[in-house]
Amino acid sequence: MTSDQKLQTVYLKWNSYKGKGWKGHDFLNKPARDAILKRFREGYKVESLCKAIENYARVLLYPDCGWTHAWSLKEFFTRHIIKGGKWEGYQFTRFLDGEFYEDDYLTQSAKNKRIENERARVQVKKFTPVSAEKKEELKKQSGLARWQK
Q: CA 38, 4, 37 angle in degrees (round to 5)?
A: 5
Cα separation, 34 vs 47, in Å, equals 18
Q: Supply the pTM of this predicted model.
A: 0.72
Q: pLDDT for 47-100, tens place per residue?
A: 999 999 999 998 888 888 877 788 889 999 998 877 788 877 888 998 998 888
Q: What is the DSSP annotation of 73-124? A: HHHHHHPEEEETTEEEEEGGGGGSTTT--GGGGB-HHHHHHHHHHHHHHHHH
pLDDT at 126 over 80: no
Q: pLDDT for 21-31, tens place per residue?
A: 788 888 889 99
Mean pLDDT, range 29-36, rounded to an integer: 93
